Amino acid sequence: MTSERFSNFIVYVDESGDHGIQRVDQNYPVFVLAFCVFYKNHYCEKVVPMLEKLKFNHFGHDLVVLHEHEIRKETGNFRFQSRQCKNEFINQLSYIIEASNFVLISCVIDKLRLRWRNELTPNPYHLALGFCLETLYEFLKEKNQVDTLTHVVVECRGPKEDKDMELEFRRICDGANSMGFSLPFEIVFADKKTNSSGLQLADLVARPIGLHVLRPDQANRAFDMLVKKFFCSGGRKNVGEGFKGWGLKIYPPPKSERPR
């Protein structure tokens, strides 16, 4: 029997872009943090089996870890025998993403604008983490889950980075947030080799979000699949429309003056 002190949701986190602020990649000057929030029953009964089946069908085993970068560059396990094999894999993976019911909470940090606006530039990762945790609280409040503990799973990045991130996570949850009170979250670190379905899906969604913010008029099939998953204003009746500023936060806000 599930303990009543745990929430019905589990959160998997990944990022796109680096959080460095002194040297910024002009081709991708953003940092993206993505939270994929799953209802636990749906995750274990539907999402995980679908991804496991995909791996058995295309690789013969389920130890392959899905990485957006490797899939896009066709490296490692993703050197397909033919274009047809790759297209079949991409189509089936796309179907799984569309069929998986998860709520997307993300923050995109425009590092050039951030550096231009602030003399003491904050850490983009810490900044995005604060925004996402606050939005996660709003979502769980809507679901009457704020009196239970929700675990937030992140991938290890290195001893120093993990220590700094854990300190920032706990600082935010202890009350250093815009609401000024404690947040019922606990961080869980996962090794980069961990074969977690949730972390792999989070990895697949982060970059398309960044590309959409950078080039909103460019065709972006991956982002189009995610639009109806963003946490939005107005509840379920407004999915796909009221997500800007809610499930998709951009900081500094786009209306602010751009750097020259």
What pLDDT digit, counting tens, does each position of 87-124 carry? 999 999 999 999 999 999 999 999 988 888 765 668 89
Q: In the predicted model, is pLDDT for residue 155 greater than 70? A: yes
User: Considering the entire predicted model, what is its pTM?
Assistant: 0.93
**What is the C-alpha separation between 194 and 199, in angstroms, rounded?**
9
Contact predicate 196/153, CB 8 Å? yes
**What is the C-alpha separation between 177 and 169, in angstroms, rounded?**
10
Contact predicate 53/40, CB 8 Å? no
In one-letter notation, the amino acid at residue 118 is: N
Tell me the β-bridge partners of 103.
37
Contact predicate 186/149, CB 8 Å? yes
pLDDT, mean of residues 211-218? 95
CATH of domain 6-251: 3.30.420.10
User: pLDDT tens, 158-174?
Assistant: 999 999 999 999 999 99
Side-chain half-sphere of 193: how many Cα atoms within 13 Å? 1
Contact predicate 195/61, CB 8 Å? no
**What is the C-alpha separation between 112 and 94, in angstroms, rounded?**
32
